[in-house]
A and B are shown apart, each in its own frame.
Chain A
Amino acid sequence: MDRLRQLRFKLLAYWRRRTLEADMAEEMRAHVERLIASNRDSGMSPDEADRDARKHFGNLANVQDHARDERRVRWLDDLSQDLRYAARQLRRNPAFACSVALVLALGIAAITVVFSMVYGVLLRDLPYDQPDRLVTLGSARRENGFQGAYAGAADYFDWRAQQQVFEDLGLTRPVANFNLTRSGEPERLQGARATASLFSTLRAQPVIGRVYTEDEQLDPARASSVAVLSYGLWQRRFGGDPSIVGRTILLNDSPHEVVGVMGPDFHYPDRDFELWTPLYIPPNQLRSGGDFSYLCVARLKAGVTLEQARAHMRVVVANRSRGYPLADGGAGVFVEPLLGDMTGRVRQTLLLLLAAVGVLFLAGCVNLANLLLARAANRAPEFSLRASLGATRSRLARQFFAEAIPLAMAGAFLGIVTAYWFLQLLIPLMPASMPRISEIGVHRPVLAASIVLSFCAAFLISLAPAAQIRSRLERGPAAAGRMRGLFIVMEIACTVVLLVTAGLLMRSFEQLRSTDPGFRTTHVLTLHLAVSRAKYGDDAGVARYLDRLIDHVRAVPGVEAVGIVNRLPMGGQMQAGIVQFEGKDGRFDTDWRSVSADYFAALDVPLVAGRTFNESDSSDRTAVGLIDERLARDVFATESPIGKRFKMGFPEAPWVEIVGVVGHIRQEGLDSDPRPQVYWPHQQRTQDRMAMVVRTTIDPSALSASIRDAIHDVDPDQPLYDVWSMPAVLERTLRGRWFNAMLIGVFATLALTLASVGLYGVVSYVTAQRRREFAVRLALGARATDVVVLVLKQGFWLALGGLALGLVFSAASSRALGTMLHGVTAWDTWTYVLVSCLMVVVVLAASFVPAWEASRLDPKVALQQQ
């Protein structure tokens, strides 16, 4: 306590030191004057009085020094002196100060950008109350969904009834499209059908009105006529008018009463969803083993851990009375934290980016250390002088730390501003599959981390010249060259690692891009539409409408073939479930597709056996279906599947006769191929949401307007969305890989630039050290080229060291890339060779200028100089 009080007093004294200094002078002067006066009173002459008084008082300067010492905080005084000196030094060498600040800013900018991404996506809390208590429940795992775990509807109701570890559960079907009409421009909105318990599980309150109740959700009539809007939708389409509550809007041509609007921060499953309607499932459609398309979220009860919940749910699932085995071979139930489940699929990518930027930052720091060493070399005389005047080594070392402070501040400031700007540029380029993009930004934790890192880096870097002071004062300049050489080797190694990683990722990207997806990708236009049931009635009505649309579009000049399908290949949406084959064991996880007759023609999917659908396969005829060749091989081996039957994986499903086998298509992405496909004619298994594929003779985008018009000829109110050419659709699936490769490529380029500049500096320095030697050689008859070779050899050995080290590290780190590589191994020869050649070329180029200058030395001049 005592020391604390002392410290506080001294800090206050430091703050007011000028006033206190004046006070002290006055106090002591007054004392001396009174001494003089008293001496005069006792009869001394003025001079004597003065002398005697001063003798009595003591040496004024000494006394003042001692008095000041009692109030000082020594380190603070020293620090402020160091800082002022440092500022002066930096101002006298603006080129040096700027280059250090810029390199540091570059490193900090890169790291801040990646920190922002990692923090925003992986770490930032979800916008719900107590988000760490929320978990997902699912029976199946999907790779490319909103969450990792997907559930079936029947599972949800069972779990909800029998569990005891959750406060509540909510179920959502995220695939629901709503055509909003008669409230302005017809628009297709993305919405979700959710149970009323979703809102209570997430503890989300509406900002006006209310959410629908469970009673409303269980009443079929009521469930299809209420809706809750998102804040964004309310602002955008309805002007934020509070009278929206109770008003009726037309969704899919059926009236829905708006019962409430959610708050501006509420988003579930993500920001694209703008309204929620009650999820009503007719009891006879509740079946398991079928459709795992639902998202289930639950809130843990207070005091229950994740492990306890997992164990409990496993017991619940084991005890279930319904005997339907589960799709994933009885894996049971997955219970995962909500945030982790949502972001799991990008975690590896983000960690890779973090590692890469860490390597870049390391390279930058090493580069900076070299810069500081170079500068320290120039200041050797200054430091020798100070040392001989009595400065301790630690005092000199502290000087470097003091110089690091303003550089760290400048670097942090510039870096963060650059990062902010760069993020604005980068975010639109991010793949749509990256979850929580809206959370990415330079938030406070990111800012704090970057500032701390900047200062830590600055201090660590200034250790280099500080440590060198010792050796320099004792051993002379040769030691300096060794340390700089070591640093440049490290920098080259870091650069090589980044180059190899970037190279591997780019080659993977190229390999992937040229993968054959199984269907035609050029000259194909795609679009999506959702058919309003209210308008077209039952399945037959919808099917007839879709057939009319197909006919109209086919009539457009430039169109060769038109087909429709319920899920566009590579479109990012899926519909999958179990099928069983008559007379065969086994339940097969497949993509379920409803298509029109010309779908396969439009996409150039080959017919392998039998026939595709035609006009005779309508709703009142025999149920027919197609399977793809992969399923044919897996199930039937050498038998012909034609005439055999399959059905969906639940008991009441109708049997369907196989009339043909078509080629296998990649549905989800060029890099994954989890399931085969089965097809029904859309007239026999009608769906509301369809994608249309149009094969064209000319550039597809040129025809999009005419195709739109053709569709609107049939129904002017039909909203269309996601109108893209097929190459654009594919490009979207590749966007993630492209982004990674691009960003790491940028890091690699930056590292390479820094390394070349750094190498140039080191080779120049070492060459300058050996000037006399070169001058002597030249004088003794060596040719200019000999000197050039000597200098190049220096650079070459440094490069070789760095390259060897870098290749070893690359081999190790590339293994960690694992699944991100496609079509290339971690030891891809081509990449390694290319990177090695690149490094050698760069190194030789960087060494060339000092080499050239060395060869032009005039021996006489060089030898005369000291």
Chain B
Amino acid sequence: MPRIELPQGTLDLLVLQVLSAGEMHGWGIARRLSLVSQEALQLQEGTLYPALYRMEAKGWIASTWAASENNRRAKYYRLTRVGRRQLAAQRDSWDQLATVVSQVLEQT
């Protein structure tokens, strides 16, 4: 699969989606995104963290320190109730956007 640029704002949606499956630390989120997109999604992994902090400030996700798989201290993020609502809303608007864009592309 060719590598694609990630449009502005969609990183939030992807992270929320990943976290909807369960709580995870930053490294885990990065690996999951890479895995699920079959390596097509190439992002600077560092950019995850500003996004995570932003969403935490907005109350969409919450964090706790816990022991990770390799017995090191890691910060785990989980979806909050508000986050779940955000995820559903953003998915809807993404779907709508995709539909509209496809329609326009097909018509003209």
Contacts and interface: CB of A to CB of B under 8 A. Distances in A.
Interface of A: 2, 5-6, 9-10, 13, 23-24, 26-28, 30-31, 34-35, 56-60, 62-63, 66-67, 69-71
Nearest to A13: B57
Given A9-B57, A23-B75, A31-B26, A69 B44 contact: no
Given A56-B45, A59-B46, A63-B49, A26 B73 contact: yes
Contacts of B57: 6, 9-10, 13, 70-71
B46 A28 contact: yes
Nearest to A66: B50
B53 interface: yes
A57 B75 contact: no
Nearest to A53: B45
Nearest to A31: B27
Interface residues of B, number: 20
Contact of A30 (B50, B59, B72): B72
A24 B58 CA distance: 18
B45 A70 contact: no
Contacts of B54: 70
Nearest to B48: A31
Contacts of A56: 44-45
Contacts of B73: 26, 30
A588 B37 CA distance: 110
A58 B75 contact: no
Q: Which of B30, B49, B56, B74 counts the most chain A CB atoms within 10 A? A: B49
Contacts of A31: 26-27, 30, 45-46
A27 B74 contact: yes
B53 A71 contact: yes
Given A31-B26, A66-B49, A70-B53, 16 more contacts: A2-B58, A2-B59, A9-B57, A23-B65, A27-B75, A30-B27, A30-B73, A31-B30, A34-B27, A56-B45, A58-B46, A63-B44, A67-B50, A70-B50, A71-B53, A71-B57
A75 to B, nearest CB: 16
Chain A interface, >50% SS class: helix
A5 B46 contact: no
20 contacts: A2-B59, A6-B57, A6-B59, A9-B56, A9-B57, A13-B57, A23-B65, A27-B74, A27-B75, A28-B46, A30-B74, A31-B27, A31-B30, A34-B27, A56-B45, A57-B44, A57-B46, A60-B46, A63-B49, A70-B53
B47 interface: yes
Chain B interface, >50% SS class: helix
Contacts of B44: 56-58, 63
A6 B58 contact: yes
A219 B44 CA distance: 101
A333 to B, nearest CB: 66
A30 B59 CA distance: 24
Contacts of A26: 73
Nearest to B30: A31
A28 B74 CA distance: 10
A463 B50 CA distance: 38
B82 to A, nearest CB: 9
Given A6-B58, A30-B27, A63 B75 contact: no
Nearest to A27: B75
A71 B73 CA distance: 22
Contacts of B65: 23
Contacts of B58: 2, 5-6
Contact of B50 (A9, A59, A63): A63
A69 B56 contact: no
Given A70-B50, A70-B53, A58 B74 contact: no
Nearest to B65: A23
Given A6-B59, A56-B45, A57-B45, A27 B26 contact: yes
Contacts of A6: 57-59
A154 B50 CA distance: 86
A23 B52 CA distance: 14
Contact of B59 (A5, A13, A24): A5
Interface in B24-80: 26-27, 30, 44-47, 49-50, 53-54, 56-59, 65, 72-75
Nearest to A62: B46
A6 B45 CA distance: 25
Given A31-B26, A34-B27, A9 B59 contact: yes
B1 to A, nearest CB: 18
Given A6-B57, A9-B56, A27-B74, A58 B45 contact: yes
A71 B49 CA distance: 11
A378 B32 CA distance: 60
Given A26-B73, A63-B50, A70-B53, A35 B59 contact: no
A680 B88 CA distance: 102
Contacts of A5: 58-59
Nearest to A69: B50
B16 to A, nearest CB: 16
A111 B72 CA distance: 63
Given A9-B59, A59-B46, A67 B27 contact: no
Given A9-B59, A34-B27, A57-B46, A67 B53 contact: yes
Which 7 A-B residue pairs are closest in the complex by CB-CB distance? A63-B46, A58-B44, A58-B46, A70-B53, A66-B50, A70-B54, A67-B50
Contacts of B74: 27, 30
Contacts of B30: 31
Contacts of A58: 44-47
B5 to A, nearest CB: 15
B51 to A, nearest CB: 8
Contacts of A13: 57
Contacts of A35: 45
A26 B25 CA distance: 13
B18 to A, nearest CB: 15
B54 to A, nearest CB: 4
Contacts of A62: 46
Q: Which of B27, B30, B46, B74 counts the most chain A CB atoms within 10 A? A: B46
Nearest to B47: A58
Nearest to A7: B57
Nearest to B72: A30
Nearest to B26: A31
A62 B47 CA distance: 9
B57 to A, nearest CB: 5
Nearest to A5: B59
Nearest to A23: B75
Nearest to A54: B46
Contacts of B26: 27, 31
A70 B72 CA distance: 26
A469 B73 CA distance: 52
A13 B46 CA distance: 20
A672 B50 CA distance: 81
B21 to A, nearest CB: 20
A58 B73 CA distance: 22
B40 to A, nearest CB: 15
Q: Which of B45, B54, B72, B73 counts the most chain A CB atoms within 10 A? A: B45
Contacts of A28: 46, 49
Given A2-B58, A6-B59, A63 B47 contact: yes
Q: Which of A60, A70, A71 counts the most chain B CB atoms within 10 A? A: A70
Contacts of B27: 30-31, 34
A654 B74 CA distance: 108
Contacts of B49: 24, 27-28, 63, 66-67
A62 B53 CA distance: 15
A59 B50 CA distance: 13
Nearest to A3: B58
A365 B64 CA distance: 53
A31 to B, nearest CB: 5
